[in-house]
Homo-oligomer: A and B are copies of this chain.
Amino acid sequence: MIISMRPHATKAEIDYVCERIRDFGYKVHSIEGEERVVIGVVGVGDVTACLESLEATPGVEGAVRISAPYKFVSKEFKKEHTQMRINGLEIGGDEFIVMAGPCSVESEKQIMETAEAVAAAGAKILRGGAYKPRTSPYDFQGMELDGLKLLQKAKNATGLLIITEVMSDRDVDMVADYADIMQIGARNMQNFALLKSLGRCGRPVLLKRGLSATIKELLMSAEYLVAHGNSNVLLCERGIRTFETATRNTCDISAVPVLNELSHLPVILDPSHAVGKRSLVPAISRAAVAVGADGLIVEVHPCPEKAVSDGAQSLTVPQFRAMMLELKPYINLWKESRHKEVAAAV
């Protein structure tokens, strides 16, 4: 921590701040500048409490944390990129993983058709919401348990793994009975009760970045999962909210390499929510491969214009098939560079 005092802080104020720092068990390094005193704080202790306390102390202008607030999810904690084996499928390794499927599970016909089509095109995991977070209370809220059962049926028929969203800590056990990967939606990224439950659920979790969450906050939410017992966490960039309205959200493509610098966890990109418009999804998917993501999660619907939700951003089956073909040479380049990285690390 670095504490900067106000330009005309009194000696008494500075002394009191130093005393408070020592109360927290830290050592003090005071630097007298031309305009003000700056205090370096060194040691191990309860950083947040100390920081908040000092910020509230008379004479203090600001307090800045230098070390990262997360630990288990950091690259410092674990150098190698995390590879996760989920029911036989490896994520974070040398396969680029595509998850695909409809926004919502709507009917047996819809989910079975989609599952077969996306599996044939090369997807390894089926997405589909049984519990749906909807802005309006009057919109379709999901098929719930019936939806979970349909997902299982699709899994049995195709061998695809299942990823589906859980919205309340009450539903964690039930969803865990059906899902291979539990999804935390963007609006729940800081639903801490849910994070704690999912920390204990024994299933891998895909954690979507909140609409206005910083990358650091995303990592802190991941840290909640790990600190409560779950180290199988996939991070997901799905667009952030900005002033731009040409796209549904703004795809923060740089989040992928930034996360790769800060954390060892795999990163998945969701082009569908990031842009909200079907025609842009293939270009963003190519960019996701090129930028070094570990996989994609894409919305596909057999008939988007009849989808109960997110139709505008869902690919049709032929569009998804064409995109998968187009991605192939990009994925080959991706694999080459993965191999080089691994070789370099040896």
Sorted nearest first, the 7 A-B pairs with minimum C-beta distance are A56-B311, A212-B212, A168-B193, A290-B290, A55-B312, A287-B287, A31-B40
A243 nearest in chain B by CB position = B241
Q: Chain B: which residue is nearest A286 at the CB level? A: B290
Write the nearest CB–CB distance from A65 to chain B, whole angstroms. 10
Tell me the residues in window 240-291 of chain A with beta carbons closer than 8 Å to chain B beta carbons. Answer: 240-247, 250-258, 261, 274-275, 278-280, 283-284, 286-291
Within the complex, the shortest CB–CB distance from A228 to chain B, in Å, comes to 7
In this assembly, does A169 line the interface, its C-beta being within 8 Å of a C-beta of chain B? yes
When the two chains form their complex, are residues B284 and A212 in contact, meaning their CB atoms are under 8 A apart? no
Interface contact B330-A290, CB-CB below 8 Å:
yes
* Residue from B29, B53, B244, B253 in contact with A305 in the complex, judged by beta carbons closer than 8 Å: B53
Contact among B56, B190, B215 with A307 in the assembled complex (CB-CB below 8 Å): B56
- Copy number in the complex reads 4
Q: A43-B34, A44-B34, A243-B243 are in contact. Are A308 and B254 (CB under 8 A)?
A: no
Q: A33-B42, A283-B292 are in contact. Are A49 and B136 (CB under 8 A)?
A: no
Interface 1/0s, chain A 169-183, versus B by CB < 8 A?
111000000000000
Residues of chain A in range 47-104 having any CB-CB distance to chain B below 8 Å: 48-49, 52-58, 64, 66-67, 69-70, 76
Residues on the B chain within 8 Å of A215, using CB:
244, 246
The B-contacting residues of A in range 140-193, CB under 8 angstroms, are: 140-141, 167-171, 187-188, 190-193
Bound complex: CA A283 to CA B258 (Å): 10
Q: Are B254 and A284 neighbours in the complex by a CB distance under 8 Å?
A: yes
The answer on a CB contact under 8 Å between A140 and B67 is no
